[in-house]
Amino acid sequence: MAMTSHNRKISIALLAGVATVLTMTMAACGKEGSSGTEAPQGATGQGCAPVAGEQLVVLDDDKKLQNSDNIVAAISGKAPNPAAVATATDKVAAALDTTKLIALNKAVDVDRKTPVQAAQEFATSAGLTTGLSGGSGDIKIGAADFSESAVLGELYKLALNAAGFKATVQTIGNRELYEPALERGEIHVFPEYAATLTEFLNQKANGKTAAPKASGDINTTMTALKALGQPVGLTFGTPSKATDQNAFAVTKAFADKYGVKTLSDFAAKCSGTASVLAGPAECPQRPFCQPGLKDKYNITFGSFHQADAGGPQTKTELKTGQASLGLIFSSDGSLATN
């Protein structure tokens, strides 16, 4: 049975403060029998009413509100031949972009292929197992307990085996468990997300209130990540163009009707009272969600619909014409166009 994706990755900024989230969730429910919607203060302009449609499209985050969560291999300094590991995983990184990652997620989450099947088909079409060498010995690949990570782990396995290693994939629950295992060399390589891991290591080293080091620029983020990884014996491959990060989507019908392709387009044409934002309960208070849209793009909304973080509720709000813009994940398999 295929695993469900995206149960692992809500932005740190979105999840900060469990007590705050619980308080907001209760408040957003309103009185008994209420709709659970809120009317944000300060909406200006006419806005754009929702348009129902089955196909969703992500609006380009052209001002880089979101941090750069590109796929990147985290490699233990205790791995056999870390340089050969990096070469093999870099080949996977180079073969991927976000569109291809969406297709891989669709293969597992929608088409119900196994991660092994999806990875093998992609590796064959992309030539991932050619031209690799230099590896030997056993190597343990870690993967988190969701489908995207499982597929990436299987892609690493195919490339590392082709390089001469004897690779196995081990599923490990969460970052709090697998990152220390990487440091200890109990696992040797893990498919990671650059900005999220940067902030995990930053807070681990400098405390929960540490100033953020990740940014919307992948080069800046990788510089910070390498500096944080060095003291704990971690190195990193070349980041892929593929990202899995917070993103804002509309229906294709909405995009076509109003002529929007970027969040700047949405700001220019759709900021205002008719526009409806859908997302998790904490969205109105989190800097990468509604406040970020206001601060970075000057986008305002007439109302907010409480849904979920990139899951079926938000997508249903969009597809049924209840929301104009919704928070999803950039590599969601439902974004595939075929």
Stretch 246-257: mean pLDDT = 98
Q: pLDDT confidence of 72, banded at 50, 70, 90?
A: very high
Question: Which residue spans within 172-286 are E strands per DSSP?
Answer: 189-193, 234-236, 246-251, 272-279
What type of residue is 34? Answer: S
pLDDT value at 36 more than 60: no
Q: Going from the N-terminus, what domains does the chain have, and what CATH number goes with each?
A: 12-65+245-335 (3.40.190.120), 71-236 (3.10.105)
Q: Determine the Cα–Cα distance for residues 189 and 170; give it in Å rounded to an integer.
A: 10
pTM for the full model?
Answer: 0.87
Q: Is the pLDDT of residue 2 over 60?
A: no
CA distances from 67 to 11, 124, 206 (A): 9, 32, 19
DSSP assigned state of 167: E
pLDDT band at residue 337 under the 50/70/90 scheme: confident
Q: In the chain, pLDDT over 90 holds for what percent of residues?
A: 86
Provide the 8-state DSSP code for 128: T
pLDDT digits (tens, 9 = 90+) for 200-226: 999 999 999 999 999 999 999 999 999
Q: Is the pLDDT at 29 greater than 50, yes or no?
A: no
Mean pLDDT of the chain: 89
Q: What is the average pLDDT across 10-30? A: 37
pLDDT above 50: residue 6: no
Give percent of the chain above pLDDT 70. Answer: 87
